[in-house]
Structure 1
Amino acid sequence: MHEVDPSYMGFSPDDRPVADVAAWRLNERKRLIEERKCLSSVNRENLSRSIALNLDDVLGDVTRKVISLYWPFLGEPDLRGWMSAAATRGATCSLPVVVGKGQPLVFRTWRFGEPLERGVWNIPVPSQGKEVRPDIVIAPVVGFDADGFRLGYGGGFFDRTLALLQPSPLVVGVGFELQKIETIHPLHHDIPMDYIVTDVAVHRPSTHRE
């Protein structure tokens, strides 16, 4: 029995029932999103600028790199300015696209001025971009812990996608320092980030892949 995946038996790695973890995550997700949305627009802009600077320290030269970013949603850090600067420096930038429930994300190239259409949750996605495989995935977090695990919106799209991408991209979670929590109570499908970049620090989890 001890050799069976705990999630198959209905338990998380820390022996909490999966249903309890799901309920806890739902409440924690709501709390963290509300906290983030309460930031003033000026404060959010300043914090996003600090995140962009720390992101540069982590990634360095992005020339010829294919990078997946995101369109800001529900008070997430706005890195569209950083995306534009990265494209100017020679990176190929893309946005993730949900193609169907239970399916992995696809990534389509996009530059400012190119057409967008409404995707899931009315988030803009490229309407004509080329499908690419990213070298670097920058994923927004709702919450994160010291082990590099990311609390997202609960759809499982990023974890499902990252499990399939080969070779594995560099995965960087981005968020505000106020979103750090003690643990997300990771389940066996949760994939840790290589780095978590916030307005205060670059967190390199103990689970970082060399």
Structure 2
Amino acid sequence: MSEWQELRSKQRIEMLACREEISKNNRYCWSSAITATLKKGFPVLQRSAVGFYWPRCGEYDPRPAIKFFQEKGAIIALPEIENKRELLRFRKWWPTAPMKVDIYGIPVPDKTELIAVDAIIIPMVGFDKQGYRLGYGGGYFDRTLAVIKPPPLTIGVAFEISRLNSIAPQSHDIRVSFIVTEMGIYRVLMGSMTLISNEECAAENPLR
């Protein structure tokens, strides 16, 4: 294992343990704040095909946001992993969609329509000041984002306690477009993060 892999493995263990210690009240309040920010800051999602995810391991629960955007007209898709060597595929989801459990035990749509997503809401175990994401270690999102054309809008979601100084980024790592925490929206640009208002973000990502 290389030095950067060892660092990330240690960070991942620490961040997951830290996240599990969040109180039920804080998790609810922080998740509600993130959902409210997604609603206000990204009206573009209301008319887009959006890749979300099913929550696990104490991460931000996007299901209220999924409900909101779907009711506004968005097409919702969830990522599917058939084996560890393949890229992510996004399958259409709706409240009564047939579901199965993937190789990681995560609920995913069962053989529903494959969707080309315009935007992806990406869970983050951690994130650093350059806008790089620490994930679960499979590399699925980076490999998938590297080949999607045109590149989708990418919005990383996490709690502020998941902030790191650096994940020791490598050439294959891809920054997200924005990061949303309970504190607000960070625009990721030129290797730095800038906190912006919901209104400013909405102007950049308007309803189409």
Instruction: Return the TM-score normalized by structure 1.
Output: 0.87
The equivalent of 2:195 in structure 1 is none
Q: How many residues align?
A: 192
Of 69, 72, 76 in structure 2, the residue corresponding to residue 86 of structure 1 is 69
Of 158, 164, 167 in structure 2, the residue corresponding to residue 184 of structure 1 is 167
Q: Which runs of 5+ in 2 are unaligned?
A: 192-203
Of 6, 9, 17 in structure 2, the residue corresponding to residue 34 of structure 1 is 17
Of 139, 142, 157 in structure 2, the residue corresponding to residue 156 of structure 1 is 139
Question: What pairs with 1:38-49 in structure 2 (closer than 5 Å)?
Answer: 38-49=21-32
Q: Deviations over 1:22-72 (max 9, x none)?
A: 011001100000111111222211111100111123311433300000000
The equivalent of 1:125 in structure 2 is 108
The answer to whether the 8 A contact 1:84-1:111 is kept is: no
In structure 2, distance between residues paired with 1:108 and 1:67: 10
In structure 1, distance between residues paired with 2:190 and 2:120: 17
Q: CA RMSD in A?
A: 1.5
Q: Which runs of 4+ in 1 moved over 2 A?
A: 61-64
Letter in 2 for 1:78: D
Structure with higher strand content: 2
The equivalent of 1:205 in structure 2 is 188
Q: Which has the higher contact order (CA 8 A, sep 6+)?
A: 2
In structure 1, distance between residues paired with 2:174 and 2:16: 21
Q: Give me the identity figure in percent.
A: 36
The answer to whether the 8 A contact 1:192-1:207 is kept is: no
Q: Which runs of 5+ in 1 are unaligned?
A: 1-17
In structure 1, distance between residues paired with 2:121 and 2:76: 11
Of 111, 126, 150 in structure 1, the residue corresponding to residue 94 of structure 2 is 111
In structure 2, distance between residues paired with 1:146 and 1:206: 11
In structure 2, distance between residues paired with 1:71 and 1:177: 20
In structure 1, distance between residues paired with 2:133 and 2:39: 21
Do residues 54 (structure 1) and 37 (structure 2) align? yes
Question: What pairs with 1:135-146 in structure 2 (closer than 5 Å)?
Answer: 135-146=118-129
Instruction: Return the TM-score normalized by structure 2.
Output: 0.88
Letter in 2 for 1:59: F
